[in-house]
Amino acid sequence: MYRFEVYPITLARRPPPVNVPLREPDSDVTLDLQEVFARCYDNGGYADLIDYRQPPAAPLSPEEAAWVDDLLKGKELRDDA
């Protein structure tokens, strides 16, 4: 039998830490997903591969698109124009 957990969050919210089950007698370990995503991004060279001036390929709600635009402008990856 599989056991799973669902964490519905928006793009603008930091993902919560998740518990990773280990074999008995070891207890679960906590995984900081935001840290994992940040390390993958930093080490993966994505900043050189993605043109952040363009809208993302994934469909976003108007609120999500505005949040992404503000975030990228704040990181100077998109113009204020």
More confident residue, 66 or 2: 66
Pair 45, 68 in one domain: no
Domain extent at residue 64: 52-81
Q: What does the pLDDT look like over 9-46, one tens digit per residue?
A: 887 889 989 899 899 999 999 999 999 999 999 999 88
* pLDDT surpassing 90 at residue 79: no
Q: Which two tokens mark 17?
A: 């830490």
**Which pLDDT score is estimated for 44?**
92
Pair 10, 39 in one domain: yes
Q: Check: CB of residue 73 under 8 Å from CB of residue 80.
A: yes
Q: Which residues pair with 19 in a beta bridge?
A: 30
Pair 30, 67 in one domain: no
Taking the alpha carbons at both ends of the chain, their separation in whole angstroms is 53
Number of folded domains that form the chain: 2
**How far apart are the C-alpha atoms of 40 and 35, rounded to whole Å?**
9
